[in-house]
Amino acid sequence: MSTRRPRALITGASAGIGLSYAEHLARTGHDLVIVARRADRLAKLATRLESDHGIEVEAIAADLGSSEGVATIAARIETGERIDLLINNAGYAVRGKVAELDPDALEQMIRVNVLALSRLSHSAMKRMIADGRGSIINVSSGTALMQFPSNAGYGASKNFVMAFTRHMQAEAAGTELRIQLLMPGVVATDFHQIAGGDVANFPADWVMKADDLVVASLRALEMGEPVCIPSLPGIRDWEAYVEAEKTVAANVSRDHIAPRYH
């Protein structure tokens, strides 16, 4: 009987939500492949997790804003030892009104939030379909459901994650693949400082601990819920959202215009 431990690959693993995933999965007996830009942080984290939990940790320093960095991780997924769980967590926010955004900064964010995630999702689905099993968690954002000034770039990038992941779920139907769309709200990490804000600006009852978010995400994966919005009271609220979409979609393509346009 095989005693192989499950292996998870986590992007953005050196801080915030990614670090919480790494620590939780290490405690529960997963070997890890941890990915982030800073080699020094990764090396220290790998050493600590191996020592504390008796697991194997592979650390890969890669900039997912570069083609080379994405190609490195894609190759690891496709040709290395099998990955049982991919967590596409790497991402950040560039905020500002559309007319005032730095276009170069916006493009770089899209490279990480959109292009890297879609490429790694491709590599993982291809490998997992061949292996007959596997799980993917794609981290979107609750702001994908909202529209407000200065969030167009980031919110749209997370809208892409939401749509892309839901299409992945449709394609995985009938297989042993589990695909989760994770949509966090405000989480107590340094994400907000990096984006030029401050988590202290939010009401305390809006702010979730990263460890609690991770517990909810992994529990939702076990339960087979396609979407995890950790503080959403019931999955039926999401199902109602999907049903509202279907109502609109049913009339998207007709051979005549709506009467109000006459």
Separation of alpha carbons 73 and 217, rounded Å: 23
Q: Which strand (E) or helix (H) includes residue 237?
A: helix 235-249
Q: Which residues, in sequence order, are CB contacts of 30 under 8 Å at separation 6+?
A: 5, 6, 7, 8, 55, 84, 85
Expressed in percent and rounded to 5, the helix, strand and coil fractions of the chain are: 55, 15, 30
Pick the closest to residue 182 from 150, 135, 214 (CA basis).
214
Residue type present at position 210: A
- Number of Cβ within a 10 Å radius of residue 195: 14
Q: Answer whether 8's CB lies under 8 Å from 33's CB.
A: yes
Q: Burial letters for 97-106: b for 16+ Cβ neighbours within 10 Å, e otherwise?
A: eeeebeeeeb
Active site residue 154: yes
Separation of alpha carbons 9 and 84, rounded Å: 8
DSSP state letters, 65-134? TSHHHHHHHHHHHHHSSPPSEEEE---------GGG--HHHHHHHHIIIIIIHHHHHHHHHHHHHHHT-E
Say if strands 85-88 and 7-11 run parallel, antiparallel, or are unpaired.
parallel
Exactly one of 21, 92, 154, 261 is catalytic; name it: 154
Return the active site residues: 154
